[in-house]
Each structure stands twice: as structure tokens, then as C-alpha cells.
Amino acid sequence: MEAAHAVILSVDDDRDILEIVRITLGTAGYEVITAENGEDALRLAVKNRPSLVLLDAMMPGMDGYAVATEMLSIPDLQGTPIVFLTALTGEHDRQSAFAAGAVDYVTKPFAGNTLVAAVERHLNTGARFAAIGTSRTGWTERVTPADFATFKETLVAELGEQAAPAVTAVVPATIYSLAESTGVGEARIAELVARFFGVGFLPRVISSEIQLGVLPTPFCRTNLVVPINNQAVGAAFVVANPFNWDLIDTLERASGTDSYTLLVASPGTIRDVFEREAPSERGTLLTIDPEAVGLRAGAPRPGARELGMRPPAFLADHALAAAEADGASDIEFEPKAEGVSVGYRIDDVVHEAFMVSHEQTSMALSRFKALAGLDINERRRSQRGAFEVVIAGARYAVRVTTAASAYGEAMSLRLIRADVPPKTSADLGMLPEQAEMLASCLAARQGLIIVAAPPRSGKTTTAYTVLSMLGPSGRRITTAESPIEFRVPFTHQQSVDEPNGATYPSVISSIISQEPDVLFVGEIRDAESARSILRFDETGLAIATITASNATSAISALEALGIARPRLAASLLCLVGVRIAPLPCPECSSPRTLTVEEQAMLSPFGVTPDVQVADPAGCTTCRGTGSRGRTGIFEVFVLTDALREQIASGATPAEIRSTLQDADTKILGSVALEALTAGRLTVEAALAAGLADDQEILAGRIALASATHNPEATSILLVDDAEDNRELLQSTLTSAGLSVSIARNGVEAVRLLERGTFDLVLSDLRMPLMDGFGLLNETARNFSVPLVIYSASTDPADEVRALMAGALDFFHVPVRREILLARVRHALATAGDMRTYAKSS
Ligand SMILES: [Zn+2]
């Protein structure tokens, strides 16, 4: 087809893109007509009959997928090649484009010659196909009646004599009618057909292998054919019925060659390719125009009063759009007595935006639950789900978590940019030598790589970066994730959907049966998944994340899931630990010298008094928080023989860290310390990023850690996130001669329990990171220490649940001094009795 005769319809809501397309294709000799929305595009397409359509995938109102579907349902336009222009390159987007009938897509931003090449290629396909349509000679008997009779004989031999009458009645065009008449599955019939033709049988079509643009998609859909390209066979056509010679003939002409491979799959398998748009994926896509929900540049935002008068959907969408505009990572709905506080989490600090009534929030939360496919009526049990939203043209995955609280249902919505590629290891803050070590492990054919971090500490981001470091290696990479947060090129990503039965263990085992080269598991949460992953790493490379305070405590976490140390040591290639630390705000930060207390604290690590540290004062750009942006603090431990032996022999995480530190391997604490002395982190941030945890190890004092307790005194571990509670209880206990250690949450408590021995743990119930229930679970599994729970909550259900979970006792705070001491003494006595009893029995 002559370029000069071709009319290209370009559809995009972005005028700049339309202008670029017009200039690029105009220069190449095409006539370009443009539309800024879906409705105009359809009108122009009917009127002008374009030779090819370039369609933006994400547009407000009618999106590209809807436009494509609509356009291809118009008889005159059915053969029109549609090429998507999109910033989205994930597999899901590829599937959606293909399902909507696209022949190809071009990624934005694009180079001019890429666009011209794509247009030329598809104009040629369209022209070639049109020519075939007009010159088609009809049925060509290449499969002779004798051949088909032979096939029928093999069918009877395979399916048994009772299938003979049905087989006799069948004709080449209707072989799959046998599925109904004989009760044999379509897949089985397809397998027999494949065997008869001596070609491969495909149990499923992997969407990343689909070749767009070889044939018009509507033709593929009608005739049940899929062009694919994979490593094993190269370019191939997957068909359901190779007896349909008309189809085979067309394929030969369309591909312009007779040297292609033919594969057979069942009709159902092929139909699935065109029906991938599961409602949970596409149906829930929400588009928000910020102006329509009260966000106008330069104008004040609606206050609580105005929001209170609007419909719940307005409130819900307003919260999403406002959080997005503020660059928030999460929206928190926190019910209180007087109403529900709505806050945006920015650089990990929640800023309350407004407060609304319980009734109104409840309806707004129902909207989010419906979008995320959760049970709207379930308000007690915690639920997790996800939906997608386009806000001001940017696409987000929103991860929804609900939880019951004393004043009603709480909800947290995490906003994840879906179309931003994962960061590089350097962007994340990984040191070059660490990235190099990790890359060498990723090149391995088999083994296990574990990424460990406390909750909310960058585990997911790190894992995705690790995944993208694998790059286009030619290896088959399959993931199990809940939910899929980023689309990673070159990978096949599978979503774990617990409420619908797609649990981690079931998804992992289905992936393993496909024998990928690399298995990535979003999070190890259960023993069955842990065991499967450990089996897989004998044949391929497994990468998995786990919630643990650092790389070495991941060993204990896996041990707690029933993985034996020697088995783990044999499999591990490398352990990665990560913490996210806030960066000092560049606008208001200035260097200062250390305080006397800081000098005393840091001198054991060799920090000299002249060192200057970052000291942000807080300003408007950082909302007074003193921090802007965040960085990762990493530790990467590649397994050496020595480390392997230490892990296998049952050394504690602290002992292992200590050995690594002695061997000059960077641990979280040492990396945080370097960042502190280089002025890149504040003292507070460095402490939280690992310096506090690793201080004994860094100071070479690990062996002395337990000696800080008075060995004669009874030793209590007090766990509470509230400072005033802690101080009050601590002073009461120490005044009674008890030795008290402090942890601010369950995670810290577990860390201390790993290092030292305690006679009793006294823990608050409600805490961030790991609450009292979580701590009860941990201690029940890993430590033989009695635990007493206290709480400010008067909910009797808490008390029952705590006691059922193994708490020795439960009391309410505030508590009178003598009652506290009586309870503690009673608990110690009971625990002592229990221990004696356990020993003697
Ligand atoms: Zn600032």
C-alpha cells in the first residue's frame, strides 16, 4: 500500500502526542487525522475509514480498550489494524490490548522511526490480508478423506468402542463436538489431534509469547488461532483444528511463508486468550478527574464540612485524588470516638487531612471494598484486596487493608504507581559492591535468594528491583504475588487471590509444575510455601521475600516455618536485608556537631567528636518533618563456606552478624553509621535503620549483651509503644528490684528474646509493627518464655483472645502499683511451677 494513500487516525487526549504523531507520520508521507477522545475517534473512523488507528490506551471517559472493542464491532471497520500507544508495558496491558483487538502496541515515549516502522508493518499485514480475502479459493482438500478416516480409527482406538457411533458421525470442521457427544475433554481431543498431525500440543498459551500484528486480531478470535513466538519453537501458529484447511491455507499466505510451526491447543485454551479481561482486573478500573472532586489548582480544597455534604463517592474519590496530589504513599481511615480521621502518609508520616462522620465514612469504605472485591458486610475480620485507578492520567494499583478497631472499621489504602518502572539498585541506595554481589547471585541457575525486611521497610520495592535486575536474560521468570504491584518486563506475573482459593501454596505449586527457570515469591507466609520453594531451588533460581528484622533473622523466620538449618544453608545463595530511612530535607538541613550524649553513644563505634551530622530544622517544603525522600540501607550476605557452616550449625542471628561484621562484611548498622557520619542521615534515622539494633555487634560487645542485666535479678522484658506507659511500669518494676529491658513493639521484643534470656515478658496489646497477639504467636513458636498481656482496651474479647493465644495472664492499664507487682509475682511463680513441671514430666 502506498504511504500517500494511507489515512492514519491518531487518538490521544494529550495534544502534544497528537502533534508529534502528526509531524512524524506526515513527514513519512501519511495523511493523519486526529481525535482527542473515544467518541470523536469512533465518529471519524466511520466517516473516514482509516487504514490504521493509533489509539491511546488511557484516556478519560471512554478508554482505548473500549474504543477498540467498539470500533471492531462495526462491520466496515473490522479489518482495521489498531495499534495502541501506551505508557503501560506490563503483561496485563499486553493482554488487555490483545483482548480488545489490537494488533500491536508502541510504548510511550517513542522514537519517530519506531512509530513509522510499526505503522508500515501493520499496513502491510492489513493489505496482505485484504488480498487473501479477495483471492481465497475456498476449501482445499489437503487432508484427504482417507486421512480423516485413519484419524477416526485412532480416535476409536484411544477412546474405546463406546465412542465409535459419535466418532463416525463427526466431520473435519466439527471434531470438538466429540467433547460433548462422548464426554471426553476438549484437551484430550486436542492432544490426539496433535499426535495425529505429529505436531506439539500446548496445554496453555503464555500471553507474553503471543505475537501481535501477524494476523488481524478479530480473524484470530473467530478462527481460533494465535500466533506465538517462543524459545522452543520460534514463530508458530497455535490452532484448535488443523483439519480446517481453509484456515491453514490462510495462515500460510498471511505469514508469507510455509516454513512456520503448527501447534495444537484446545478451543477453550485459545478462547481464554481473547477473554483474559477478567472483571477483577479491568472492570474495577476507576478513573478520577481531580477537578471533579474538588481539587482545582490555586483554589482551596473542600473542608470537612463541605465533604460531609457531598455523596460518599465524592469523599472517597476526593481522598484518593488529594493523597495522589500530595505524593502520599497511603491513605489512612482511622475511626475515633468523635468521627473518622482521614490522613495521608507522606514520607512515612501521617498528616490528618480532615475528619468526617462514621456514617459517611462507612459508605465511602464500602465503595473501596467493592472496588477491591472484598466482602462489604464483613467489618470484624481483616480483609485485603486491590483495585486500579487512573488519577489525572497516572495509573495506580491501590492495595486495600481493613481492620476492626474499637470505634469501627479502619482502612488503609496504599497507592502504588503502576506504570513507573522499578528503581535501579543505585536509586534504592544499594552500595555498588552490594549490587555487584547480588548480581552475581542472580546469574546462578539454581539456589535461593531471600530478601528480608520489617513490615513497611521497602521489602516489596527491593524485591521488584531484584526482579528487574534479572533483565532480558532469556530465562523464563514466573512470579506469585499478592497483589501484583508493578508490572515487570520479561516476567510472567501471577496473582495470589486468597478469597477465591488462589492461595500462595496453590499458585506456587502450579508455577513449579510449569518448570520456570526463575520463581519469584512475593512473600513467604506459610510452611507449605516455604517447603515448595526449598524444593524448587534444586532445579531453578528462587527469589522470595520474608518479614524479618534483617537478613540473619530471616534464618530464624524460615526455621520457624519448619525449614531445617542444614537444608537452608545448602540452598541459600544470598541473604538481603533492607531498611528504609528518611533523608534529611535539603531545604532546611544544616550540619551540626554531636551533642555530648551522642558523642558518648557513638564513640564505641570509632566516631570522633568532630564529626558533623545532618540537622534539619523543618520547613514548609517538608511539612515541618525535616525529611524529604527516602533511601534504602542494605546488607547483602553472599553465602561462603564459613557462613554456610555457621547457619547449618544453629548459630544465633546475633552470632552470625557478629562474625560477618568481624569479616568486614557491611551489616545494616555499619552502613547506617557510614551514612550518618557522611551527613546523609540524621542520628535518629541512622538508629532506626539498623544502628540501634547492631550497636552491641558494632562495638564488639555482643558477648556482653546479656551481662548488662543483673544476673541475680529476675529479668523482665517490657514491651510497649507508648513512652509514658513504659516509664511508669519500668519505674514500678525496677523499684521492686526487678531488672527491666525495654522493647517498643513485638519486632523489637523478638530481637531481644533472640539475644538474651528473660524470666517474663510483659507486653502491651496494641502496638505498631507487631502487636501483643503477634508476639504471643512468636514466643509460642520460638521461645520458652511466659508472657503477660496488658491493655488499655476494655473489650473482653481481647482478654479471651489473649488468654486463648497462650498469655499467662491479662490485666488492664492504668494499673495500681501493688496490683501490678502482685500480678508479676504471681506470673513468675506460675511460670516457675510450669517449668519445674515440664522438666519432671
Ligand atoms: Zn525542610
Q: In whole angstroms, give the CA distance from residue 406 to residue 659.
A: 46
Q: Which residue has better confidence, 116 or 132? A: 116
Cβ count near 411 (within 10 Å): 23
Are 392 and 317 contacting, i.e. CB atoms less than 8 angstroms apart?
no
Helix, strand, or coil here: 519?
A: strand
How many angstroms does the Cα of residue 586 sit away from the middle of ligand 1? 7
pLDDT at position 418 is: 65
pLDDT digits (tens, 9 = 90+) for 580-623: 898 999 889 999 998 888 887 788 788 888 888 999 998 888 87
How many angstroms does the Cα of residue 422 sit away from the middle of ligand 1? 27
Are 450 and 554 contacting, i.e. CB atoms less than 8 angstroms apart?
yes
Distance of CA 9 to the CA centre of its chain: 36
295-309, 466-480, 641-655, 662-676: range with lowest mean pLDDT:
466-480
How many angstroms does the Cα of residue 57 sit away from the middle of ligand 1? 38
CA dihedral 369, 375, 379, 383 (to 10 degrees): -70
Nearest CA to 64 out of 287, 290, 368 is that of: 287
- For residue 305, pLDDT beyond 80: yes
How many angstroms does the Cα of residue 487 sit away from the middle of ligand 1? 33
Q: Which H helix or E strand runs over 401?
A: strand 394-405
Q: In whole angstroms, give the CA distance from residue 93 to residue 221.
A: 18
pLDDT digits (tens, 9 = 90+) for 77-114: 877 888 888 776 565 666 677 777 777 778 777 777 88
How many angstroms does the Cα of residue 326 sit away from the middle of ligand 1? 15
Q: Give the largest CA-CA distance in the chain.
A: 100
pLDDT at position 130 is: 60
How many angstroms does the Cα of residue 344 sit away from the middle of ligand 1? 18
How many angstroms does the Cα of residue 628 sit away from the middle of ligand 1? 7
How many angstroms does the Cα of residue 584 sit away from the middle of ligand 1? 8
How many angstroms does the Cα of residue 616 sit away from the middle of ligand 1? 6
How many angstroms does the Cα of residue 585 sit away from the middle of ligand 1? 5
Q: In whole angstroms, give the CA distance from residue 545 to residue 557.
A: 11
Q: In whole angstroms, give the CA distance from residue 588 to residue 594.
A: 18
**Helix, strand counts (H, E) of the chain:** 33, 30
Helix, strand, or coil here: 719?
A: strand
How many angstroms does the Cα of residue 677 sit away from the middle of ligand 1? 20
Average pLDDT, the chain: 82
How many angstroms does the Cα of residue 454 sit away from the middle of ligand 1? 27
Helix 653-662 / helix 746-755 crossing angle, nearest 10 deg:
80
Grid cell 521488584 is found at: 464
DSSP state, residue 620: T
DSSP string, 538-549: TTSEEEEEEE-S
How many angstroms does the Cα of residue 833 sit away from the middle of ligand 1? 57
DSSP string, 355-381: EE-HHHHHHHHHHHHHHTT--TT--SS
**Residue 6 CA neighbour count, 13 Å, CB half:** 26
How many angstroms does the Cα of residue 748 sit away from the middle of ligand 1? 30
Are 55 and 83 contacting, i.e. CB atoms less than 8 angstroms apart?
yes
**Residue 807 CA neighbour count, 13 Å, CB half:** 24
Which residues 6+ apart lie within 8 Å of 252 measured at CB?
Answer: 258, 260
Are 686 and 648 contacting, i.e. CB atoms less than 8 angstroms apart?
no
How many angstroms does the Cα of residue 578 sit away from the middle of ligand 1? 25
How many angstroms does the Cα of residue 450 sit away from the middle of ligand 1? 36
How many angstroms does the Cα of residue 618 sit away from the middle of ligand 1? 4
How many angstroms does the Cα of residue 688 sit away from the middle of ligand 1? 20
Grid cell 530544622 is found at: 617
How many angstroms does the Cα of residue 113 sit away from the middle of ligand 1? 45
How many angstroms does the Cα of residue 720 sit away from the middle of ligand 1? 31
Which residues 6+ apart lie within 8 Å of 307 measured at CB?
Answer: 294, 314, 315, 318, 354, 356
Q: Characterize 442-461 residue by residue with b for buried, 16 or more Cβ atoms within 10 angstroms of its Cβ, and e for exposed.
A: beeeebbbbbbbbebbbbbb
pLDDT at position 710 is: 42
- Sheet with 760-764: list strands edge to edge: 739-743, 715-719, 760-764, 787-791, 809-812
Percent of all residues in the chain with a pLDDT value above 70, rounded to a whole number: 87
How many angstroms does the Cα of residue 615 sit away from the middle of ligand 1? 10
How many angstroms does the Cα of residue 424 sit away from the middle of ligand 1? 26
How many angstroms does the Cα of residue 334 sit away from the middle of ligand 1? 27
- For residue 312, pLDDT beyond 90: no
Specify the pairing of strand 589-593 against strand 612-616: antiparallel
DSSP state, residue 680: S
How many angstroms does the Cα of residue 623 sit away from the middle of ligand 1? 7
- For residue 14, pLDDT beyond 90: no
All three cell numbers of 328, joined, read 502520599
Check the CA dihedral 319-322-326-329 and report its sign.
positive
How many angstroms does the Cα of residue 583 sit away from the middle of ligand 1? 10
How many angstroms does the Cα of residue 60 sit away from the middle of ligand 1? 36
Mean pLDDT of 315-327: 92
How many angstroms does the Cα of residue 648 sit away from the middle of ligand 1? 48
Q: Which residue has better confidence, 195 or 2? A: 195
How many angstroms does the Cα of residue 684 sit away from the middle of ligand 1? 16
Check the CA dihedral 423-426-428-430 and report its sign.
positive
Q: In whole angstroms, give the CA distance from residue 255 to residue 698.
A: 66
How many angstroms does the Cα of residue 587 sit away from the middle of ligand 1? 5
In the chain, what are the helix, strand and coil shares in percent, each to the nearest 5?
45, 20, 35
Q: Which residue has better confidence, 521 or 158? A: 521
235-239, 499-503, 532-536, 632-636: range with lowest mean pLDDT:
499-503
- Catalogue the long-range contacts made by 442-446 (C-beta closer than 8 Å, 24 or more residues apart): 442/466, 442/469, 442/470, 442/541, 442/543, 444/541, 444/573, 445/517, 445/540, 445/541, 446/537, 446/538, 446/539, 446/540, 446/541
How many angstroms does the Cα of residue 614 sit away from the middle of ligand 1? 12
Q: How many residues does the chain have?
A: 841
Q: Using pLDDT thresholds of 50, 70 and 90, give the confidence band for residue 275.
A: low
Q: In whole angstroms, give the CA distance from residue 525 to residue 508.
A: 12
Q: In whole angstroms, give the CA distance from residue 606 to residue 610.
A: 12
Q: In whole angstroms, give the CA distance from residue 679 to residue 611.
A: 9
Are 471 and 645 contacting, i.e. CB atoms less than 8 angstroms apart?
no
Grid cell 559492591 is found at: 433
How many angstroms does the Cα of residue 617 sit away from the middle of ligand 1? 7
pLDDT at position 148 is: 79
How many angstroms does the Cα of residue 741 sit away from the middle of ligand 1? 35
Looking at 203-337, list the stretches that DSSP marks H as alpha helix, in order from N- to C-terminal side: 217-223, 245-255, 267-274, 304-309, 312-325
How many angstroms does the Cα of residue 453 sit away from the middle of ligand 1? 28
DSSP state, residue 209: G
Q: Using pLDDT thresholds of 50, 70 and 90, give the confidence band for residue 280.
A: very low
φ, ψ (nearest 5 deg) of residue 592: -140, 165
581 by Cβ neighbours in 10 Å (0-12 / 13-18 / 19+) ranks as buried
How many angstroms does the Cα of residue 94 sit away from the middle of ligand 1? 42
How many angstroms does the Cα of residue 594 sit away from the middle of ligand 1? 20
Q: In whole angstroms, give the CA distance from residue 574 to residue 588.
A: 39
How many angstroms does the Cα of residue 347 sit away from the middle of ligand 1? 12
φ, ψ (nearest 5 deg) of residue 569: -60, -35
Nearest CA to 520 out of 480, 492, 565 is that of: 480
How many angstroms does the Cα of residue 629 sit away from the middle of ligand 1? 11
How many angstroms does the Cα of residue 591 sit away from the middle of ligand 1? 14
- For residue 452, pLDDT beyond 90: yes
pLDDT digits (tens, 9 = 90+) for 717-735: 999 988 888 888 988 888 7
DSSP state, residue 193: H
pLDDT at position 714 is: 80
How many angstroms does the Cα of residue 67 sit away from the middle of ligand 1? 46
Q: In whole angstroms, give the CA distance from residue 561 to residue 640.
A: 24
* Distance from the first to the final alpha carbon of the chain: 91
How many angstroms does the Cα of residue 200 sit away from the middle of ligand 1? 63
How many angstroms does the Cα of residue 620 sit away from the middle of ligand 1? 6
How many angstroms does the Cα of residue 674 sit away from the middle of ligand 1? 23
Q: Which residue has better confidence, 639 or 426? A: 639
How many angstroms does the Cα of residue 460 sit away from the middle of ligand 1? 27
Specify the pairing of strand 394-405 against strand 408-417: antiparallel
- For residue 341, pLDDT beyond 50: yes
131-145, 230-244, 773-787: range with lowest mean pLDDT:
131-145
Domains (ranges, CATH) in the chain? 3-135 (3.40.50.2300), 145-274 (3.30.300.160), 286-417 (3.30.450.90), 425-697 (3.40.50.300), 705-840 (3.40.50.2300)
How many angstroms does the Cα of residue 681 sit away from the middle of ligand 1? 14
pLDDT at position 304 is: 87
How many angstroms does the Cα of residue 631 sit away from the middle of ligand 1? 16
How many angstroms does the Cα of residue 600 sit away from the middle of ligand 1? 28
CA distances to 1, 57, 118, 243 from 113, in Å: 18, 21, 8, 41
How many angstroms does the Cα of residue 683 sit away from the middle of ligand 1? 16
Q: Using pLDDT thresholds of 50, 70 and 90, give the confidence band for residue 285.
A: low
How many angstroms does the Cα of residue 676 sit away from the middle of ligand 1? 18
Q: In whole angstroms, give the CA distance from residue 815 to residue 321.
A: 45
- For residue 575, pLDDT beyond 50: yes
- Catalogue the long-range contacts made by 293-301 (C-beta closer than 8 Å, 24 or more residues apart): 293/317, 293/318, 293/321, 294/318, 295/321, 295/322, 295/325
How many angstroms does the Cα of residue 230 sit away from the middle of ligand 1? 52
Are 12 and 68 contacting, i.e. CB atoms less than 8 angstroms apart?
no
How many angstroms does the Cα of residue 329 sit away from the middle of ligand 1? 19
pLDDT at position 637 is: 97
How many angstroms does the Cα of residue 670 sit away from the middle of ligand 1? 27
**Residue 418 CA neighbour count, 13 Å, CB half:** 25
How many angstroms does the Cα of residue 692 sit away from the middle of ligand 1? 25
How many angstroms does the Cα of residue 613 sit away from the middle of ligand 1? 16
All three cell numbers of 18, joined, read 497528537
